[in-house]
Amino acid sequence: MLRSLLLVLMVGWTTASAQQTLNYGIVSPNTKTNLKLADAIAGMNSAEESKLLNEAINLSCVVRSRITVFRALGSWTDGAEHSVLLRVSGEEDTLRYVLSRMGRDAEQKYVIYFHPQSKGPADLYILKPRQDARNLVALSNALDRAGIPFRTLVPSGHTTAIYIIDLDRNLHAKIMAAARTLRARVSQQSGNAQLFGADERPQAKTKFQEEINSYEAKNPNLPPTCDVRKAKAKGH
Protein backbone atom coordinates (compact mmCIF):
# COMPACT_ATOMS: atom_id res chain seq x y z
CA MET A 1 0.00 0.00 0.00
CA LEU A 2 2.77 2.44 0.95
CA ARG A 3 4.74 1.61 -2.18
CA SER A 4 1.66 2.24 -4.35
CA LEU A 5 1.04 5.57 -2.61
CA LEU A 6 4.61 6.73 -3.21
CA LEU A 7 4.43 5.64 -6.86
CA VAL A 8 1.26 7.67 -7.40
CA LEU A 9 2.91 10.70 -5.76
CA MET A 10 6.01 10.43 -7.94
CA VAL A 11 3.99 10.05 -11.14
CA GLY A 12 1.92 13.08 -10.16
CA TRP A 13 5.03 15.13 -9.44
CA THR A 14 6.66 14.11 -12.73
CA THR A 15 3.57 15.12 -14.72
CA ALA A 16 3.27 18.45 -12.92
CA SER A 17 7.00 19.16 -13.14
CA ALA A 18 6.91 18.96 -16.92
CA GLN A 19 4.65 22.00 -16.90
CA GLN A 20 6.48 24.00 -14.26
CA THR A 21 9.69 25.99 -13.94
CA LEU A 22 12.78 24.25 -12.62
CA ASN A 23 14.31 26.32 -9.82
CA TYR A 24 17.67 26.10 -8.07
CA GLY A 25 18.49 26.80 -4.44
CA ILE A 26 21.65 26.56 -2.34
CA VAL A 27 21.82 26.13 1.44
CA SER A 28 24.73 25.18 3.69
CA PRO A 29 24.54 23.35 7.02
CA ASN A 30 27.80 24.99 8.12
CA THR A 31 27.81 27.38 11.09
CA LYS A 32 31.60 27.61 11.56
CA THR A 33 33.64 30.62 10.46
CA ASN A 34 36.84 30.67 8.42
CA LEU A 35 36.35 27.12 7.17
CA LYS A 36 39.26 25.92 5.03
CA LEU A 37 38.68 24.39 1.61
CA ALA A 38 39.85 20.94 2.74
CA ASP A 39 37.49 21.05 5.74
CA ALA A 40 34.57 22.12 3.53
CA ILE A 41 35.24 19.21 1.15
CA ALA A 42 35.36 16.80 4.10
CA GLY A 43 32.09 18.29 5.36
CA MET A 44 30.30 17.15 2.21
CA ASN A 45 30.17 13.68 3.81
CA SER A 46 29.20 14.91 7.29
CA ALA A 47 26.12 14.04 9.32
CA GLU A 48 24.92 17.65 9.16
CA GLU A 49 25.13 17.53 5.36
CA SER A 50 23.08 14.33 5.25
CA LYS A 51 20.51 15.81 7.62
CA LEU A 52 20.02 18.83 5.36
CA LEU A 53 19.74 16.61 2.28
CA ASN A 54 17.04 14.55 3.98
CA GLU A 55 15.14 17.65 5.05
CA ALA A 56 14.99 18.88 1.46
CA ILE A 57 13.70 15.52 0.24
CA ASN A 58 11.07 15.36 2.99
CA LEU A 59 9.81 18.85 2.12
CA SER A 60 8.80 17.59 -1.32
CA CYS A 61 5.60 16.20 0.19
CA VAL A 62 4.79 19.56 1.80
CA VAL A 63 5.05 21.55 -1.45
CA ARG A 64 3.75 18.68 -3.60
CA SER A 65 6.69 18.82 -5.97
CA ARG A 66 9.65 16.52 -6.30
CA ILE A 67 12.85 17.99 -4.87
CA THR A 68 16.18 16.72 -6.18
CA VAL A 69 19.22 17.40 -3.99
CA PHE A 70 22.97 17.14 -4.43
CA ARG A 71 25.98 17.35 -2.14
CA ALA A 72 27.83 20.49 -3.13
CA LEU A 73 30.80 22.69 -2.34
CA GLY A 74 30.22 26.41 -2.01
CA SER A 75 33.51 28.03 -2.97
CA TRP A 76 34.57 31.66 -3.11
CA THR A 77 37.77 33.66 -3.35
CA ASP A 78 38.66 33.51 0.35
CA GLY A 79 36.62 30.63 1.74
CA ALA A 80 34.40 27.59 1.25
CA GLU A 81 31.67 25.56 2.92
CA HIS A 82 29.88 22.29 2.30
CA SER A 83 26.44 22.94 0.87
CA VAL A 84 23.33 21.41 -0.62
CA LEU A 85 22.10 22.31 -4.10
CA LEU A 86 18.45 21.56 -4.74
CA ARG A 87 16.19 21.61 -7.76
CA VAL A 88 12.45 22.00 -7.38
CA SER A 89 9.64 22.75 -9.81
CA GLY A 90 7.13 25.43 -8.98
CA GLU A 91 6.65 29.11 -8.33
CA GLU A 92 9.20 31.46 -6.80
CA ASP A 93 7.34 31.72 -3.49
CA THR A 94 7.42 27.92 -3.14
CA LEU A 95 11.18 27.93 -3.66
CA ARG A 96 11.62 30.68 -1.06
CA TYR A 97 9.48 28.70 1.39
CA VAL A 98 11.55 25.54 1.03
CA LEU A 99 14.83 27.45 1.39
CA SER A 100 13.50 29.41 4.37
CA ARG A 101 12.62 26.21 6.22
CA MET A 102 16.02 24.74 5.44
CA GLY A 103 17.87 27.96 6.31
CA ARG A 104 15.98 28.34 9.59
CA ASP A 105 16.54 24.74 10.67
CA ALA A 106 20.24 24.83 9.71
CA GLU A 107 20.71 28.14 11.58
CA GLN A 108 22.00 29.89 8.47
CA LYS A 109 22.59 33.58 7.86
CA TYR A 110 21.80 33.46 4.14
CA VAL A 111 20.42 31.21 1.43
CA ILE A 112 20.48 31.88 -2.31
CA TYR A 113 18.22 30.86 -5.17
CA PHE A 114 17.58 31.22 -8.89
CA HIS A 115 14.11 31.23 -10.46
CA PRO A 116 14.07 31.28 -14.30
CA GLN A 117 12.30 34.22 -15.96
CA SER A 118 12.78 35.24 -19.59
CA LYS A 119 13.37 38.90 -18.67
CA GLY A 120 14.85 38.40 -15.21
CA PRO A 121 17.71 40.65 -14.02
CA ALA A 122 20.16 37.86 -13.14
CA ASP A 123 21.78 34.92 -14.95
CA LEU A 124 22.53 31.33 -14.01
CA TYR A 125 25.45 29.60 -15.71
CA ILE A 126 26.06 25.87 -15.51
CA LEU A 127 29.47 24.70 -16.68
CA LYS A 128 30.11 21.01 -17.33
CA PRO A 129 33.76 20.21 -18.10
CA ARG A 130 34.15 17.59 -20.84
CA GLN A 131 37.25 16.01 -19.31
CA ASP A 132 37.69 14.26 -15.97
CA ALA A 133 37.16 17.06 -13.42
CA ARG A 134 36.77 15.59 -9.94
CA ASN A 135 39.54 17.56 -8.23
CA LEU A 136 37.57 20.21 -6.35
CA VAL A 137 40.71 22.03 -5.17
CA ALA A 138 42.04 22.33 -8.71
CA LEU A 139 38.66 23.53 -9.99
CA SER A 140 38.37 26.13 -7.22
CA ASN A 141 41.85 27.42 -7.99
CA ALA A 142 41.09 27.62 -11.71
CA LEU A 143 37.92 29.60 -11.05
CA ASP A 144 39.86 31.93 -8.73
CA ARG A 145 42.37 32.59 -11.50
CA ALA A 146 39.48 33.28 -13.88
CA GLY A 147 38.19 35.99 -11.54
CA ILE A 148 34.91 34.29 -10.63
CA PRO A 149 34.34 35.15 -6.95
CA PHE A 150 31.43 32.83 -6.04
CA ARG A 151 30.53 29.39 -7.40
CA THR A 152 29.01 26.08 -6.35
CA LEU A 153 30.64 22.80 -7.36
CA VAL A 154 28.52 19.65 -7.64
CA PRO A 155 30.42 16.38 -8.24
CA SER A 156 28.57 14.01 -10.55
CA GLY A 157 29.99 10.83 -12.08
CA HIS A 158 33.41 11.51 -13.55
CA THR A 159 33.05 15.27 -13.67
CA THR A 160 31.82 18.25 -11.63
CA ALA A 161 29.07 20.66 -12.60
CA ILE A 162 29.81 24.30 -11.77
CA TYR A 163 26.88 26.59 -10.91
CA ILE A 164 27.39 30.35 -11.01
CA ILE A 165 24.61 32.80 -10.17
CA ASP A 166 25.56 36.16 -11.70
CA LEU A 167 23.45 38.57 -9.66
CA ASP A 168 24.84 41.73 -11.31
CA ARG A 169 25.43 40.38 -14.83
CA ASN A 170 29.08 41.38 -14.86
CA LEU A 171 30.77 37.99 -15.08
CA HIS A 172 29.87 36.80 -18.59
CA ALA A 173 33.28 37.32 -20.19
CA LYS A 174 35.12 35.74 -17.25
CA ILE A 175 32.77 32.77 -17.15
CA MET A 176 33.18 32.10 -20.87
CA ALA A 177 36.97 32.33 -20.53
CA ALA A 178 36.85 29.86 -17.63
CA ALA A 179 34.68 27.53 -19.70
CA ARG A 180 37.27 27.53 -22.49
CA THR A 181 40.08 26.81 -20.03
CA LEU A 182 38.12 23.95 -18.47
CA ARG A 183 36.84 22.68 -21.84
CA ALA A 184 33.34 22.95 -20.44
CA ARG A 185 29.92 23.05 -22.03
CA VAL A 186 27.98 26.11 -20.90
CA SER A 187 24.27 26.67 -20.41
CA GLN A 188 22.89 30.09 -19.48
CA GLN A 189 19.44 31.31 -18.51
CA SER A 190 17.94 34.52 -17.20
CA GLY A 191 15.79 34.83 -14.12
CA ASN A 192 15.22 36.21 -10.65
CA ALA A 193 17.92 35.49 -8.08
CA GLN A 194 18.40 36.61 -4.53
CA LEU A 195 20.71 36.08 -1.60
CA PHE A 196 18.39 36.57 1.37
CA GLY A 197 18.72 36.39 5.13
CA ALA A 198 20.70 38.63 7.51
CA ASP A 199 24.24 39.14 8.81
CA GLU A 200 23.31 37.86 12.27
CA ARG A 201 21.69 34.46 12.88
CA PRO A 202 18.80 35.66 15.11
CA GLN A 203 17.77 38.26 12.53
CA ALA A 204 18.12 35.72 9.73
CA LYS A 205 15.95 33.24 11.63
CA THR A 206 13.29 35.94 12.02
CA LYS A 207 13.34 36.68 8.28
CA PHE A 208 13.12 33.01 7.39
CA GLN A 209 10.21 32.54 9.80
CA GLU A 210 8.37 35.52 8.33
CA GLU A 211 8.74 33.96 4.88
CA ILE A 212 7.45 30.64 6.22
CA ASN A 213 4.48 32.24 7.99
CA SER A 214 3.50 34.22 4.90
CA TYR A 215 3.54 31.16 2.64
CA GLU A 216 1.64 28.99 5.10
CA ALA A 217 -1.01 31.72 5.56
CA LYS A 218 -1.57 31.75 1.79
CA ASN A 219 -1.45 27.95 1.58
CA PRO A 220 -3.27 26.61 4.66
CA ASN A 221 -3.46 22.93 5.58
CA LEU A 222 -0.21 21.95 3.90
CA PRO A 223 0.49 18.20 4.05
CA PRO A 224 3.18 16.87 6.40
CA THR A 225 6.73 16.06 5.40
CA CYS A 226 7.35 12.75 3.60
CA ASP A 227 8.86 11.04 6.65
CA VAL A 228 5.80 11.91 8.76
CA ARG A 229 3.49 10.72 5.96
CA LYS A 230 5.35 7.41 5.72
CA ALA A 231 5.18 6.91 9.48
CA LYS A 232 1.41 7.51 9.45
CA ALA A 233 0.97 5.13 6.51
CA LYS A 234 2.88 2.39 8.33
CA GLY A 235 0.80 3.00 11.45
CA HIS A 236 -2.33 2.12 9.50
- pLDDT tens digit string along 71-118? 999 999 889 999 999 999 999 999 999 999 999 999 999 999 999 999
Mean pLDDT calculated for residue range 15-44: 85
As a whole-number percent, the residues of the chain with pLDDT over 70 amount to 91
pLDDT at 41 over 70: yes
> Could you tell me which residues come within 8 angstroms of residue 9 by beta carbon, excluding any fewer than 6 positions away?
61
Count: domains in the chain: 1
Structural domain including 218 reads: 2-235
Q: Is the pTM of this model over 0.75?
A: yes
- The band of 4, judged by pLDDT with boundaries at 50, 70 and 90, is very low
**Which one is predicted more confidently, 20 or 218?**
218
- CA-nearest of 27, 26, 196, 23 to 114 is 23
Residue of 78, 98, 130, 74 lying closest to 23 (CA atoms)? 98
Mean pLDDT of the chain: 91
Q: In the prediction, which pLDDT does 20 show? A: 62
Confidence of residue 130 (pLDDT cuts 50, 70, 90): confident
Poorest-confidence range of 25-39, 121-135, 175-189? 121-135
Contact 161, 152 (CB under 8 A): no
Burial of 217 (0-12, 13-18, 19+ CB in 10 A): exposed
The pLDDT value given to residue 91: 95
pLDDT in tens, 162-196: 999 999 999 999 999 999 999 999 999 999 999 99
Nearest to 71 by CA among 1, 6, 154: 154
Element (H, E) at 114: strand 110-116
Judged on CB neighbours under 10 Å (0-12, 13-18, 19+), 49 is: buried
Q: Residue 145: which H helix or E strand, with range?
A: helix 136-145
